[in-house]
Amino acid sequence: MAPPELTDDVVEEILLRLPPDDPSCSARASAVCKPWRRLLSDPVFLRRHRAFHRRRAPPLLGFIHHFTDEPVRRIPCFARFGPTTAFRPAEQERKGWWALDCRHGRVLFQCSYVELAVWDPMTGDVRRQREPDDIVCAFSTAAVLCAVPGCDHHDCHGGPFVLVFVGNDGVYEGNFLMASASSYSSETGTWTAPSTVEHDESLELESKPSVLAGDAVHFLTYFGKAILRYDLTNLELSVILPPVAYGDGDALLMTAEDGELGLALFDGEASIHLWARVAGAAGGDPGWVRRNMINLYAVLPFFDPAHSLSLVGFAEGTDIIFLHTTHGDYRMELSHCRSASCGRRADASVG
């Protein structure tokens, strides 16, 4: 005797639980029959699916990495999408493009010396935008983010976005080096007036992605001399000094607990130190607090301090950082390292 057919309500409840971090499940389910395909493409069902999984962070579908012989000049052979799930975009390689940032379902590339490109890997849509004409610079980078207030970023496709462009000309004025930043709105189609800051430390920008923490986008400079902070509300650029110099090691911006600005510092020997910038007592000025220290010998059994190790990326909305070593590229889940006692806890405050 054949089992009874599932009712439409039961089918909907089952499909509602398809994992959002594996889009291939929905693709395979839609191929079962026409009623399932209609259900999976129905806007009402899609809203229910997003609401059901809203408590989870948006899934990490993959990362972008470059193949180039001239990384300093940013002349790549191509940028390639490296999947971490079964998802594959229609176009996985972008020749002659350099990835600057990735956030809220979009990837930002520099596709020429004066032009940026915003790519949606889910839909394949590409939006090109010329860099601001009133910022003349030798070193630059940019960030992309969703412009919808209160958005959960599970379905930003086709919506408005903001670009933040920051750069400096590499020329000292007196004892100071100046940096400028401007933001672009896809809704108005215009760049804001530049905000400029000067400092006696190096403000040459790293090619590492920015980090969105609170109401500001943060950019790292070379040699850990400074962090550039662009306030999205006041449209102002400012300088934050890191907690310590990291010498022969490496650094990576990230978000810490409660969405604070965080910083991972590799000391060049055998440890990664995790710092957070927190508000001072009684509303005082923010300061740096060291939250954790990870012993790399406990995390990477093959680790040898004589070999190179660099911190290359952070997946926003998660606690995952990416490492590059002579043995290959690795992802590290920081919460797992804490729970597994990979490093001893150490707290210290720095203004």
pLDDT band (50, 70, 90) for residue 47? confident
pLDDT computed for residue 262 by the predictor: 93
Write the pLDDT tens digit of every residue in 23-38: 778 878 888 888 888 8
Mean of pLDDT values over 17-27 = 77
Mean of pLDDT values over 140-164 = 85
Do residues 120 and 157 make contact, with C-beta atoms less than 8 angstroms apart?
yes
pLDDT computed for residue 346 by the predictor: 32
**Closest listed residue to residue 237, CA positions, set 245, 228, 246:** 228
Residue boundaries of the structural domains of the chain: 8-48, 60-241, 243-351
pLDDT band (50, 70, 90) for residue 296? confident
Mean of pLDDT values over 136-159 = 82
pLDDT computed for residue 348 by the predictor: 33
Do residues 87 and 61 make contact, with C-beta atoms less than 8 angstroms apart?
yes
What is the value of pTM for the model shown? 0.78
Q: Which of 54-63, 169-178, 202-211 has the highest mean pLDDT?
A: 202-211
Mean of pLDDT values over 326-339 = 74
Mean of pLDDT values over 264-282 = 84
pLDDT computed for residue 194 by the predictor: 94
pLDDT computed for residue 136 by the predictor: 76
pLDDT computed for residue 163 by the predictor: 97
Q: Does residue 116 surpass a pLDDT of 80?
A: yes
**Closest listed residue to residue 16, CA positions, set 65, 64, 50:** 50
Q: Which of 12-26, 30-44, 110-124, 224-238 has the highest mean pLDDT?
A: 224-238
Beta bridge partners of 143: 164
Largest CA distance in the chain: 89
114 HSE (CA, 13 A, CB side):
6
Two tokens, residue 138: 């030798």
Two tokens, residue 248: 């022969």
Q: Does residue 342 surpass a pLDDT of 50?
A: no
- Please tell me which residue, 322 or 175, carries the higher pLDDT value: 322
Q: Does residue 19 surpass a pLDDT of 70?
A: yes
| Nearest 10 degrees: Cα torsion 41, 47, 49, 52 | -170
Two tokens, residue 173: 């004025």
Q: Does residue 166 surpass a pLDDT of 80?
A: yes
How far from the centroid of its chain's Cα atoms is residue 14's Cα?
32
Give the CA radius of gyration of the chain: 22
Q: Which amino acid is at 8?
A: D
**DSSP 8-state class, residue 281:** G
Do residues 144 and 167 make contact, with C-beta atoms less than 8 angstroms apart?
no
Query: What region does 43 belong to: left with phi over 0, alpha with psi -120 to 50, or beta?
Result: alpha
**Closest listed residue to residue 244, CA positions, set 293, 180, 289, 278:** 289
Rounded mean pLDDT of the chain? Answer: 80
Do residues 275 and 262 make contact, with C-beta atoms less than 8 angstroms apart?
yes
Write the pLDDT tens digit of every residue in 189-236: 999 999 999 877 667 788 888 999 989 999 998 766 789 999 999 999
